[in-house]
Amino acid sequence: MVATNHRTYTYIGLAGEGDYIGDGGLLRQADGETGWQDISAGLPGNPQVRALLLKADNPAVLFAGTQNGVYRSPDRGATWQRLPDPADGREVWSLAAHPSDPETLFAGYEPCAIARSQDGGQTWQEMDTSQVIFPHITTYMPPLGKRVIGIAIDPVNPANMYAAIEVGGLLASRDGGETWAQLMDGPYLRNNTLDLHQVQVSAADPETVQIATQIAMFRGRRQGTRWEHVQVQDMFPGGSYCRDLLVAPDDPSTIYLASGAGGGAAPPDTVPEGALFRSRDIGHTWERLDLGDVPPGRMMQVAIDPAVPTRLSCAAYSGEVYHSHDQGQTWAKTELPIESTRYLHIYPMVCG
């Protein structure tokens, strides 16, 4: 049971990419506040924050993945400490925690590398990705570094892990992250199905892997060896850019999808538009949630407070943030104090 004095904090990281690096940063908003607080002090200069993680057994502890490694804050972002890094010089693009051991953490990098800590971030060891081969169609396209943009751990059998690669398909580990191999290989006509943005596995169906890509959402049966296109009703007919996936912490049958108009198949005159979708049957059927507004940019992130799962937030590329305290029935909107451009993306978002 949640204490009546529990307060939800929402964190949003800002960053650019490639040749488009602008002012980054990290913002925080407490439940009941209308403004956003900059908590970037102590992070590297012009921090490019592309990954966030709250410690499961102590949400005051926050991890941030930056262009200069992983940082940890013991006090919700008031102070920061840079952690040792086995992949110095590589940018951190994803963070994940073991489902039953909050001291075991994983970090994903660009160029492709994955590191593990078994002591809450004090020490790290680089995992073996030396045997990973990327589909040929992605080898000539930027970003050549094949960034690890999302990591998912099977909550039923944590030995099974998955890493979403932008642009490069899906990696899998069957030994708790020690070694990794490519799951998606073969003849492809276009790269947009291999341009992954997120991966999730639900305890309600751990044999199925859910992925969000530049052009659509897909599910992989038999631990990602048999793939099918997920037909999300009322998705954008001109093409859909699927950005984030999240399994609800209190109900493994419920999955959220952050998406928007545009993508690999969209015509150039597609009007930007963001949306949040929800499935209550492990991704078989979907509904578009009514935010009370249509964001003029694709939905980038979705987050849920695991201590109070009725509190849900999502953020659009164009800077709008939507909060719900009743599991998505009603919403309130706030605006980030930024101007969204090609040089600035909303990459990570967490609540807790």
- Let me know if 265 is exposed, middle or buried by CB neighbors in 10 A (0-12, 13-18, 19+): middle
Q: Kindly state whether residue 3 falls inside one of the protein's structural domains.
A: no
pLDDT of residue 178: 98
Stronger pLDDT, 67 or 338, i.e. the higher one: 67
How far are the Cα atoms of 38, 64, 71, 73, 79 from residue 42, in angstroms, in the given order?
11, 11, 9, 9, 6
Dihedral sign from CA coordinates of 303, 307, 309, 311? negative
pLDDT of residue 85: 87
Q: Report which of 188, 182, 213 is spatially closest to residue 199, judged by C-alpha positions.
A: 213
Task: Please say if the pLDDT value at position 286 is more than 80.
Answer: yes
Q: In which residue are the tokens 């040749």 written?
A: 19
pLDDT of residue 71: 97
pLDDT of residue 344: 73
Interval 73-97 mean pLDDT: 93
Q: How many CA atoms lie within 13 A of 351 on its CB side?
A: 28
Task: Please say if the pLDDT value at position 268 is more than 70.
Answer: no
Q: Kindly state whether residue 69 falls inside one of the protein's structural domains.
A: yes
Task: Please say if the pLDDT value at position 1 is more than 60.
Answer: no
Q: How confident is the model at residue 338 (pLDDT cuts 50, 70, 90)?
A: confident
Average pLDDT, the chain: 91
Task: Please say if the pLDDT value at position 28 is more than 90.
Answer: yes
First to last CA, the chain: 15
CA gap 297, 174 in Å, rounded: 37
Interval 27-43 mean pLDDT: 95
Q: Kindly state whether residue 4 falls inside one of the protein's structural domains.
A: no
Q: In which residue are the tokens 């990973």 written?
A: 132
Task: Please say if the pLDDT value at position 335 is more than 80.
Answer: yes
pLDDT of residue 69: 96
Q: How confident is the model at residue 78 (pLDDT cuts 50, 70, 90)?
A: very high
Task: Please say if the pLDDT value at position 141 is more than 70.
Answer: no
Q: Kindly state whether residue 274 falls inside one of the protein's structural domains.
A: yes
pLDDT of residue 120: 97
Q: Domain containing 97 — which CATH number?
A: 2.130.10.10
pLDDT digits (tens, 9 = 90+) for 168-180: 999 999 999 999 9
CB 307 within 8 A of CB 2: yes
pLDDT of residue 92: 96
- Token pair for residue 103? 């001291």
Expressed as residue numbers, the domain containing 313 is 9-351
Q: Kindly state whether residue 197 falls inside one of the protein's structural domains.
A: yes
Task: Please say if the pLDDT value at position 267 is more than 60.
Answer: no
Question: How far is C-alpha 159 from the geometric centre of its chain's CA atoms?
Answer: 21
How many domains are contained in the chain? 1
Q: Kindly state whether residue 202 falls inside one of the protein's structural domains.
A: yes
CB 334 within 8 A of CB 288: no
Q: Kindly state whether residue 1 falls inside one of the protein's structural domains.
A: no
CA gap 280, 248 in Å, rounded: 10
pLDDT of residue 3: 52
Q: Kindly state whether residue 144 falls inside one of the protein's structural domains.
A: yes
pLDDT digits (tens, 9 = 90+) for 200-212: 999 999 999 999 9
Interval 113-117 mean pLDDT: 97
pLDDT of residue 94: 98
Stronger pLDDT, 252 or 273, i.e. the higher one: 252
